[in-house]
Structure 1
Amino acid sequence: MAFAEKNLTVRPPIEVAGRRIKRYHVTADPAGIEPEVEEAAYRFLPQLLQTLPEPDGTPPGGFLVLHRGGDDGAYLNVYSWVWDNALHFAGGAAGQPVLGCPDRDPAHFVRLDRSLIGCVWELPPIAHERDAWVRHVLDAPAPHLDDYLADTLTAPTTGLDRPMRAPTHRP
C-alpha cells in the first residue's frame, strides 16, 4: 500500500454556538476542498457542537479538521476543550456508506456514531493543539484564548517537518 501525505491548510477561526474554533483542512487536491463540500460541512457543524457538555468555565475553544478523502468521502472532526484539560470529540461523515452515510454524496453529512477520532492525516493537528492548549491556557498565568486561536500548525502537509524513517521489515 502506497502512502502519501496530504495538503494541510489553516483557515481563520470561526465562532459557532458560543465556541471559537480553529479550522484545518486536509486534502490530496492542491486546489483544496470543493466549495460545496466545505459549505455543507460548516452547515452541519452546529449539530456536532450540540453534543458538548454544559459550559464549565473552560475557555470556549477548540478546533476542527475537515478532510476530503481520495474517494467520495468527506469527514468533519470537531474537537472541543472541556473540563479544563479534556478533549471532547464529535464527528460527521459524508459519502462513505461504510460509516453509515446514506449515499456517496460528499456534501451530505451525517453524525458519525463510531468511536473513531481521526485517521493518520487528521492526527497531526491534535498533537499541535494539545501543546498549544497547554502553552496558552493551562501553563499561562491566565488563560489566553486569543493566543491559543492564533497558534496553529503551519506545516504545508500532514507530514512531519523531518524525513520519515526507513521502513522496518520483519521476517
Structure 2
Amino acid sequence: MPLYPLYPLYPLYPLYPVYLLYPVYLLYPVYLLYPVYLLYPVYLLYPVYLLYPVYLLYPVYPATRAPSPGPGVLCCGAAPARPTGNGRPLRRAAERSSRSAASPPRRERRDGRNGRPPETGGACALHDGRMSDREELPQAVDAEALLALADEHHARTTRALGTREAGGHVVKVYALEAPGRVVTERDEAAALRIAGAHLGLGRSRGSLGLAVLIVHAGGDGDYVLVHSWIEGYMSDLAVFVGPAGQPDQLRPGRVGLAPCVWEAAVLAHERDAFTRHVLDGSGPLANRLAAWGADTTAGGVR
C-alpha cells in the first residue's frame, strides 16, 4: 500500500468543485443582462441596406444580358457580351438605357414578309410573347388572307337619308353603297319595316329611344344594321342579311355577326355624335336631339 494514498481517501476533483458551486458561465452573464447584439442596434435604427441604395440610384440591371444558352452559343443573333473592365462600358450601357427610356420609341421598319419586322440582333433569349420577339406568326393568323384583304380594300360611299320614326324610336338612316351598287327607295322602305319590328320591343332591352339604321348594299349581298342606344351607356345591335337586290329575303344574321369595316366607320361617327350632342351637350333635350339628328357623315369611308 502506498505511503500517501490520498486519491482513494479524498479525490482531488471535489476539492474545488467550482463548476458545481457556481458555474463559470454564470459569473458574468452579460448576454443575459444586456445582449451584445443590442449594444449598437444600427440595423434597427437605420437599416444598412438603406444607407447607400445604389440599386435605386444607379440602374445596373439594364446593362446585364440574358443568360447564355451555353459557351460559344448565341441566341437569335445576339452579339457576345462586352467585357466590363473597370466599369466604364457598364456605365455607358446604363446611360444609353436611360436615354432610350426618355426618348419616344422608334417606328419599326417592316420588311414585307407577312408584315413582320426585320430580324435584328439583341438579347432575346427570354421571349415574353410580344410579336416583336416571335420568329413566326401564331398558327391562327392567316397571312395570305389578310394580305388579300389589304389588296382589295377600297372606299365605299355613305349617304344620310334623314331622320325617321320607327318602332317609337327616332332613327337616323344611312345608305352605304359598294362600287356599282345603289340603295333604292325600295331598299330603304324594307329596312325601315325591319327596324320598326325590331325596335318595337326596344323597351324590354333597355332602349332609350334613339337608333341608327344602316342600309348597306354590299358587294356580296345586302345588309341592314339596327343600332340603338340603351341604358348604362351601352348599345344594342341587330344585323340582317340577304341576297343582293332582294330586300324581302333579309333575315337575322348568325349569332356574333358584327359590323364590317365600312359599317363600323359610320357607327364610329354616330358614337361621337351621341356623346357630343346628347351626353355632353347643354340646353333642353329637344335641342340636343335636333343637333344629334343633324350631325351626319357622308362621302367615302374606308
Higher strand share: 1
Shifted more, 109-118 versus 8-17: the winner is 109-118
Conservation of the 8 A alpha-carbon contact between 1:77 and 1:117: no
Alpha-carbon shift at residue 141 of structure 1 (Å): 3.1
- The verdict on how the C-alpha distance between 1:114 and 1:51 changes in structure 2, with shifts beyond 3 A counting, is farther
Partner of 1:17: 167
Q: Amino acid of the residue matched to residue 171 of structure 2? A: I
Q: Distance in 1 between matches of 2:300 and 2:271?
A: 19
Q: Which amino acid aligns with 1:91?
A: V
Percent identity of paired positions between Structure 1 and Structure 2: 28
Give the alignment's Cα RMSD to 1 decimal: 2.4
Q: 1:57 to 1:116 in 2, by over 3 A?
A: closer
TM-score, normalising length from structure 2?
0.45
Q: CA deviation at 1:124?
A: 0.8
CA distance in 1, matches of 2:233, 2:206: 12
| CA distance in structure 1 between the partners assigned to 2:205 and 2:186 by the alignment | 32
Residue 31 of structure 1: how far off its partner (Å)? 6.6
Gapped runs of 5+ residues in structure 2? Answer: 1-147
1:136 paired with 2:280, answer no
> Would the aligned equivalents of 1:76 and 1:93 in 2 still touch at CA under 8 Å?
yes
1:75 counterpart = 2:223: yes
Counterparts of 2:207 and 2:227, CA distance in 1: 17
Partner of 1:88 in structure 2?
236
2:156 maps to what in 1? 6
Aligned in 2, Cα 1:31/1:113: closer, same or farther, shift over 3 Å? Answer: closer
SS at match of 2:301: coil
**Equivalent pair of 2:243/2:249 in contact (CA under 8 Å):** yes
Q: Deviations over 1:47-68 (max 9, x none)?
A: 222452438684x212111111
Structure 1: 5+ residue runs without aligned partners? 97-103, 160-171
Give 1:114's match in structure 2, choosing from 255, 258, 278: 255
- Tell me the secondary structure at the aligned position of residue 157 of structure 1: strand
Aligned-residue offset at 1:129: 0.9
- How much has 1:139 moved relative to structure 2? 1.0
Q: Which residue of 1 aligns with 2:301?
A: 158
Asked if 1 retains the 8 angstrom alpha-carbon contact of 2:167 and 2:197, the reply is no
Greater C-alpha Rg: 2
Q: Do the aligned partners of 2:273 and 2:292 also contact (CA within 8 Å) in 1?
A: yes
Deviation at 1:90, TM superposition (A): 1.4
Is the contact between residue 41 and residue 107 of structure 1 (CA under 8 Å) also seen in structure 2? no
Offset from partner CA, 1:131-151 (integer Å, 9 cap, x none) = 111111111235411111111
TM-score (ref. length: structure 1): 0.75
Q: Is the 1:48–1:91 Cα contact (8 Å) retained in structure 2? A: no
- Choose which of 163, 168, 189 in structure 2 pairs with 1:39: 189
After superposition, the Cα gap between the structure-2 partners of 1:94 and 1:31, relative to the gap in structure 1 and judged at 3 Å, is closer
Structure with the higher fraction of residues in helix conformation: 2
Q: Is the 8 A contact 2:168 2:200 kept in 1?
A: no
> RCO higher in 1 or 2 (8 Å CA, sep ≥ 6)?
1
In structure 2, what residue type is equivalent to 1:26? L
| SS of equivalent residue, structure 1 residue 90 | strand
Q: How big is each residue's C-alpha offset from its partner over 1:96-150, in whole Å with a ceiling of 9 and x where there is no partner?
A: 8xxxxxxx84441112242222101111111111111111111123541111111
- Distance in 2 (CA, whole Å) between partners of 1:16 and 1:112 is 21
Q: Does residue 1:147 correspond to 2:296, yes or no?
A: no
- Structure 1's 14 and 30: CA in aligned 2 closer, same or farther, altered over 3 A? farther
